[in-house]
């Protein structure tokens, strides 16, 4: 194995970690509920952090212009579009950026469209910004899902003021096409709506799919803002660093009107690690994507063998598996049964919206043997519930 190559970490090593994932549950529970990876750090990222700590560089975050340059360079290399670095600003994390923009741009009670089932904190952060969630559920497309842009259009026609697009989509792993994104931009123009494109999972676009940054479409820029971050791709969510991207004067003015205090929620170590990830972490990310690709196939094999009643469409991006457990008849919230009877913690489907009843989300960024153990525990829970 290449020294420093991306590698999954053993359960013994993981139990020594101090993060939420490894302490939120009793020690006999195997956690696979949160979007965090069981992986080693990219060597370039680790080096940047060790050097920063050795310098004692733990002060407040500096909105380093190099962050914008590095983020833009990465976007250009991976996705073929270099945003102007002067339109990239530091925010502590994606969700606080979304909240700050909604608070500033929408009136009290303004409707925000989301495509359910969707990342649960969207609901709370929209409400905390004084806005209202308007669901435009994804359409079922065979065993998988597709964006239902007719439903989005109906919501905007009905008065919703913004569209929070999850691109790629959590929990389904959908990667939106150029034609879909073009239509979104057209709808935003026609209805005067703001589009917030959450692209946090873009670095985790897997073989066979291609991520298109929303703002790479010129027609999207006048009413679009995107939120990007290195924290999912390189597993740095606790380091608090994300970026808000604008590419037009009106959106730049909106970003400039946000409180300058916002950036002080970011961490200096996050800025330093993100610059290292974007600049020097590309080869490591490629290795990681190979490991995740293997796992999305392995999970399909394991489910076919041990729990064939579960519906699973491998994600095109992310390391998340959105699992239809309704045929198992474990009720609306199968995650409770899996936890109580199998001692494996998955994320409850109903948290993702009404259509999540009967589903669970599993994180599969883990060692193959751990993935096997997750499925075994689910099997055990099903047997115990019968
Ligand atoms: C779609 C999506 N957006 C935002 C976040 C949270 O990002 P942050 O920690 O930067 O707020 C996540 C985390 O899993 C996510 O999946």
pLDDT digits (tens, 9 = 90+) for 195-213: 999 999 999 999 999 999 9
User: Which residue is it, tokens 């996705």?
Assistant: 79
Ligand 1 center–CA 88 separation, angstroms:
18
**Residue 1 in this model has a pLDDT that exceeds 60:** no
Contact 146, 135 (CB under 8 A): no
> In terms of Cα–Cα distance, which of 80, 112, 39, 61 is closest to 273?
61
Kind and range of the H or E run holding 30:
strand 30-31
Please report where in the chains the tokens 């009670």 appear, as a residue.
109
Residue 277 has pLDDT above 90, yes or no: yes
Nearest Cα neighbor of 129 from 152, 101, 165, 155 is: 101
Please, are residues 158 and 186 in contact by the beta-carbon 8 Å criterion? no
**Count of H helices and E strands in the chain?**
12, 15
- Residue 231 CA: nearest ligand 1 atom is 10
Please state, rounded to an integer, the average pLDDT across all residues of the chain. 97
**DSSP-derived secondary structure letter, 82:** -
Mean pLDDT of 54-63: 95
Q: What are the phi and psi torsion angles at 4 (to 5°)?
A: 85, 0
Instruction: Identify the residue whose C-alpha is closest to ligand 1 atom 1.
Output: 170
What is the structure's pLDDT at 2? 60
Check residue 386 and give its pLDDT: 84
Q: What's the 300 CA to ligand 1 centre distance in angstroms?
A: 25
Atom of ligand 1 nearest to the CA of 320: 16
Whole-number Å distance between alpha carbons of 29 and 101: 38
CA of 269 to the centre of ligand 1 (A): 18
339: pLDDT strictly greater than 70: yes
Measured from the CA of 242, which atom of ligand 1 is nearest? 10
Q: What is the 198 CA–ligand 1 centroid distance (Å)?
A: 8
pLDDT in tens, 219-251: 999 999 999 999 999 999 999 999 999 999 999
Averaged pLDDT, 164-188: 98
Beta pairing, strands 242-245 & 224-228: antiparallel
Distance from the CA of 231 to the center of ligand 1, in angstroms?
Answer: 9
Integer angstrom CA distances of residue 377 from 306, 358, 383, 385? 10, 18, 10, 12
Across the range 367-376, mean pLDDT stands at 98
Contact present, 353 and 238 (Cβ < 8 Å): no
| C-alpha to C-alpha distance for 385 and 135, rounded to whole angstroms | 33
Q: Sign of the CA dihedral 237, 246, 64, 282?
A: positive
CB 320, CB 205: distance < 8 Å: no
Ligand 1 mean position to 280 CA, how many Å? 23
Q: Are 373 and 379 in contact (CB under 8 A)?
A: no
Q: What is the pLDDT of residues 146-161, one digit of tens each?
A: 999 999 999 999 999 9
Domains and CATH numbers, the chain: 11-42+282-385 (3.90.1150.10), 46-279 (3.40.640.10)
Q: Which residues line ligand 1 (CB under 6 A)?
A: 35, 93-95, 119, 166, 170, 198, 200, 229, 231, 237, 242
First to last CA, the chain: 44
3-state secondary structure of 87: helix
pLDDT in tens, 67-122: 999 999 999 999 999 999 999 999 999 999 999 999 999 999 999 999 999 999 99
In the reported structure, the alpha carbon of residue 275 is separated from the centroid of ligand 1 by a whole-number distance in angstroms of 19
**Alpha carbon nearest to ligand 1 atom 14, residue:** 35
Ligand 1, closest atom to CA 118?
1
Query: Which pLDDT score, from 0 to 100, does residue 27 have?
Result: 94
Mention every residue, 6+ apart, whose C-beta is less than 8 A from residue 132.
Answer: 109, 110, 111, 112, 126
Closest C-alpha residue for ligand 1 atom 13: 35
pLDDT digits (tens, 9 = 90+) for 121-146: 999 999 999 999 999 999 998 878 99
Please report which confidence band the pLDDT of residue 4 belongs to, taking 50, 70 and 90 as the band edges: confident
The per-residue pLDDT for 3 is 63
pLDDT class of 193 with cuts at 50, 70, 90: very high
**Whose CA is closest to 321, among 341, 347, 340, 289?**
347
Select from 124, 198, 364 the residue to mutate for testing ligand 1; criterion: most ligand atoms less than 8 Å from CB: 198
Residue 243: strand pairing partners:
90, 228
- 94 CA to centre of ligand 1 in angstroms: 6
Mutate which of 33, 102, 119, 243 for ligand 1? The one with the most ligand atoms within 8 Å of its CB, which is 119
């Amino acid at each position: 194995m290449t020294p420093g190559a991306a590698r999954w970490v053993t359960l013994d090593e993981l139990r020594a970690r101090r993060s939420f994932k490894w302490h939120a549950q009793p020690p006999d529970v195997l956690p696979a509920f949160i979007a965090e990876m069981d992986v080693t750090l990219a060597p370039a990222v680790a080096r940047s952090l060790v050097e920063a700590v050795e310098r004692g560089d733990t002060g407040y975050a500096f909105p380093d212009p190099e962050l914008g340059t590095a983020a833009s360079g990465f976007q250009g290399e991976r996705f073929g579009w270099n945003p102007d670095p002067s339109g990239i600003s530091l925010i502590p994390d994606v969700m606080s950026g979304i909240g700050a923009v909604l608070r500033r741009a929408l009136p009290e009670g303004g409707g925000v469209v989301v495509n359910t089932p969707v990342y649960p904190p969207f609901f709370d952060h929209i409400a905390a910004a004084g806005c209202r969630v308007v669901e435009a559920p994804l359409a079922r497309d065979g065993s998988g899902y597709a964006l239902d842009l007719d439903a989005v259009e109906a919501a905007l026609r009905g008065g919703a003021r913004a569209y929070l697009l999850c691109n790629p989509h959590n929990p389904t792993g959908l990667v939106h096409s150029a034609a879909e994104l073009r239509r979104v931009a057209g709808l935003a123009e026609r209805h005067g709506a703001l589009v917030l494109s959450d692209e946090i999972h873009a670095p985790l676009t897997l073989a066979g799919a291609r991520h298109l940054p929303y703002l790479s479409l010129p027609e999207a820029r006048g009413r679009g803002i995107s939120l990007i971050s290195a924290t999912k791709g390189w597993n740095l969510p606790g380091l608090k660093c994300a970026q808000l991207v604008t590419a037009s004067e009106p959106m730049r003015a909106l970003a400039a009107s946000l409180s300058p205090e916002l950036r002080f929620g970011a961490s200096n170590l996050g800025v330093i690690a993100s610059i290292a990830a974007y600049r020097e972490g590309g080869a490591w990310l490629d290795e990681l994507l190979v490991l995740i690709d293997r796992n999305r196939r392995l999970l399909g094999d394991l489910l076919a063998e041990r729990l064939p009643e579960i519906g699973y469409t491998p994600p095109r991006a992310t390391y998340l598996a959105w699992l239809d457990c309704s045929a198992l008849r474990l009720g609306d919230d199968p995650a409770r049964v899996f936890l109580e009877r199998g001692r494996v913690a998955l994320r409850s489907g109903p948290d993702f919206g009404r259509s999540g009843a009967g589903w669970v989300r599993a994180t599969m960024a883990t060692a193959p043997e751990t993935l096997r153990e997750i499925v075994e525990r689910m099997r055990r829970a099903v047997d115990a519930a019968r």
